[in-house]
Amino acid sequence: MQGAEPIQPGRQAAGVPSPFKAHRSSFDPGRADLYLRLGTVNVFVRDQDRSLRFFVEQLGFELAFDNRLSSGERWLAVSPPDGTAVLTLVAPTPESDDYIRIGRSPQITFLTENVPAKFEEWRSRGVLFPQPPRTEEWGATSAVLEDPDGNWFTLLSYKEMILEIESERRTYAAQLEAENRATREREFARAVQARLLPQAPPSLNTLDCAAICVQAREVGGDYYDFLDLGRDRTGIVIGDISGKGTAAALLMANLQAHLRSQSPAYWSRPYTPFALGQPERLLRSLNQLFYQNTAEGNYATLFFAEYDDSAKLLRYANCGHLPGLVLADDGKVELMEPTCTVLGLFREWNCSVGERSLSPGDMVALYTDGVTEARNDADEEFGEDRLIAALHQNRQVSAQASLADVLNSLRWFNQSREQHDDITLVLARCKKN
């Protein structure tokens, strides 16, 4: 406490909870009766600043509030470290009836688990004790102390209270360990899921790719991938699993495993053109596997594109996902709308395939709803138009640089709002040379 910034009148101490809010150690959410606790107890003093230093610096109390009332009177209070009681330090004027009550405050008892230890701690800070701690006939240990104005306080401990504190400590330690274990498990899950995503974009002759997934929680249901389909063909994938958190992350891993197992580069036997030129066949198989291995009602939106690096040709199936964007080098925008419904809801499922040739300078943008549905303080969505505008502003830079600029625009737009959904964005720019 020594050397701390002086406490200024007229403001509540920073970081100190309002004394009118229920403290966690005094509130039992299981109680059915109306909440009730002790509010404040007046201690009459001559000099509020001197008493404040006594309670804060010598007894280790915290400042609860320090305000000026409309009458000009200073309203000053302190609280013990657990925050369950508040002492108001009142400095009455000499002509008031309360002035004679200085040094005559009603007996106030402070509870502690170890009176001798607290006695030595406070005495070393200059607190006045007229005599050492003593043991009462009923088994409690107590000591009496005096403040600078002659107000007397009792320091007390007894067996039942000590046992209760020890029990609370064990409970708290168990809860803390459980929380730490859960945190470690979530961090491990985050790391595992991050490793499931591509660690680097593909190296293509005609296409510059970049992608990112920023999860709202430790793990999430957004997914993107780059798949080697053989013979100069690359799969570009983005998906969004229904739901959030761990359940969505497990479904994402399930979907990814199914998709990769059906791609030629992940078959252990010699290369087969199973997926080559046939994304509809791959996706029908993917839907069947996803349908059979997930609970009823679970589904995924998916945008699957097969890019021919030699022909600069993009064949795609949009399975209930947000429209993909093609920003031509001349500034025109084309939407790649859904060509079929979502994956995993229906046993019988078919899709059609769209096709788009890319010219040098064209950019393909795939994204999840965490991008367009991000909101600002005015409750406006970032939206497709802002995304397109951000992409247009960065048409002449690399895919990675453009990706970083779009994310900066999104963060600036959403800077004061918590991220509520996963943000995933895949950009692919057709090279000009």
pLDDT tens, residue by residue, 291-330: 887 778 788 899 999 999 989 999 999 999 999 999 988 8
- How far is it, in rounded angstroms, from Cα 372 to Cα 381? 6
pLDDT computed for residue 143 by the predictor: 95
Residue 25: pLDDT band (50, 70, 90) is: low
- How far is it, in rounded angstroms, from Cα 131 to Cα 119? 10
pLDDT computed for residue 278 by the predictor: 64
Residue 386 has pLDDT above 70, yes or no: yes
What value does the mean pLDDT take over residues 152-181? 89
Residue 117: pLDDT band (50, 70, 90) is: very high
pLDDT computed for residue 43 by the predictor: 94
Q: Where are the domains of the chain?
A: 197-430
Q: In this structure, which long-range contacts are made by residues 403-411, counting pairs with CB atoms below 8 Å and at least 24 apart in sequence?
A: 403/210, 403/211, 403/212, 403/427, 407/212, 407/214, 410/371, 410/374, 410/382
Question: Of 270 and 354, which is predicted with more confidence?
Answer: 354
Most confident of 27-31, 221-225, 417-421: 221-225
Residue 6 has pLDDT above 70, yes or no: no
pLDDT computed for residue 223 by the predictor: 85
pLDDT tens, residue by residue, 172-186: 889 889 988 887 877
pLDDT computed for residue 35 by the predictor: 73
Answer yes or no: are the C-beta atoms of 26 and 39 closer than 8 Å. Answer: no
Question: Of 220 and 348, which is predicted with more confidence?
Answer: 348
Residue 1 has pLDDT above 50, yes or no: no
Judged by DSSP in three states, 264 sits in helix
Residue 97 has pLDDT above 80, yes or no: yes
What value does the mean pLDDT take over residues 338-362? 90
Share of the chain above pLDDT 90, in %: 39
pLDDT computed for residue 193 by the predictor: 67
Question: CA angle, corner 177, sides to 24 and 117, nearest 5?
Answer: 65
Helix pair 245-261, 159-196: axis angle to 10 deg: 30
Residue 244 has pLDDT above 90, yes or no: no
pLDDT computed for residue 14 by the predictor: 44
pLDDT tens, residue by residue, 130-150: 999 999 888 899 999 999 999
Window from 22-26, 66-70, 261-265, 363-367 with minimum mean pLDDT: 22-26
- How far is it, in rounded angstroms, from Cα 28 to Cα 39? 17
pLDDT tens, residue by residue, 34-85: 777 777 899 999 999 999 999 999 999 999 999 998 888 899 999 998 878 8
Residue 21 has pLDDT above 50, yes or no: no
Exposed e or buried b per residue across 306-333, where buried means at least 16 C-beta atoms within 10 angstroms of its C-beta:
bbbbeebebbbbbbbbbbbbbbebeeee
pLDDT tens, residue by residue, 197-216: 788 888 899 999 999 888 76
**Domain 197-430 sits in CATH 3.40.50.1110:** no
Which residues, other chains included, contact 222 with Cβ-Cβ below 8 Å and sequence gap of 6+?
A: 213, 215, 238, 239, 240, 241, 252, 368, 370, 422, 423, 424
pLDDT computed for residue 59 by the predictor: 95
> What's at 348, amino acid-wise?
E
Residue 9 has pLDDT above 60, yes or no: no
**Residue 365 CA, distance from chain mean position:** 28
